[in-house]
């Protein structure tokens, strides 16, 4: 992961520099870079939490989209059945029983269609809840990460060379 790689790179460069550079400035730079590398490595957990939350949202939305597609397909199938049933009822209008039976069948299909619509809206609301929960987790993780970044070490003051 990026944080691990960056921390290792900083530590490696810090060790290489420590071999060839000595003195108070070298010691201060070593401590600064070492602390920075540790802080960056510690952020790995925050990014992993963000990744997990994004995956939860992605999976939830994808599965919901698939389910909504299936439910809409079912509703269209029912609409076709309703149309055929109404046509059959109309074609038997010369009898008194045909249209009554067709009306009952149409009513049953409409109820089934309403039930599919209810399932779809419930599913969409549940996905909205998952997305809201994940958004809250992302915001919380971002706040924790921001708090970690604020404590990143900064040099105390600039170096003023006496000869300058």
pLDDT tens for each residue of the chain, 164 residues long: 788 888 899 999 999 988 999 888 888 889 888 988 888 888 888 888 888 888 888 998 999 999 999 999 999 999 999 999 999 988 888 888 888 899 999 999 999 999 999 999 999 999 999 888 888 888 887 777 776 666 666 666 666 667 75
Please choose, from the candidates 71, 151, 84, 48, the residue with its C-alpha nearest in 3D space to the C-alpha of residue 119.
Answer: 71
Exposure string of 126-137, with b = 16+ CB inside 10 Å and e = fewer, is: ebeeebeebeeb
Running DSSP on this structure, what letter comes out for residue 96? S
Q: N- to C-terminal Cα distance for the chain?
A: 43
User: What pTM was estimated for this model as a whole?
Assistant: 0.63
């Amino acid at each position: 992961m990026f944080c691990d790689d960056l921390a290792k790179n900083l530590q490696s460069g810090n060790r290489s520099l420590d071999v060839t550079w000595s003195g108070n400035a070298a010691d201060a730079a070593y401590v600064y870079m070492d602390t920075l590398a540790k802080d960056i490595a510690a952020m790995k957990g925050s990014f992993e939490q963000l990744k997990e939350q994004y995956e939860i949202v992605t999976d939830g939305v994808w599965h919901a989209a698939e389910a909504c597609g299936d439910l809409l397909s079912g509703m269209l199938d029912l609409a076709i059945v309703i149309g055929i049933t109404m046509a059959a009822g109309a074609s038997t209008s010369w009898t008194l029983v045909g249209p009554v039976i067709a009306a009952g069948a149409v009513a049953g299909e409409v109820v089934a269609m309403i039930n599919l619509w209810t399932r779809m809206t419930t599913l969409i609301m549940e996905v909205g809840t998952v997305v809201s929960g994940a958004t809250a987790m992302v915001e919380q993780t971002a706040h924790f990460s921001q708090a970690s970044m604020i404590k990143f070490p900064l040099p105390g003051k600039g170096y003023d060379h006496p000869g300058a």
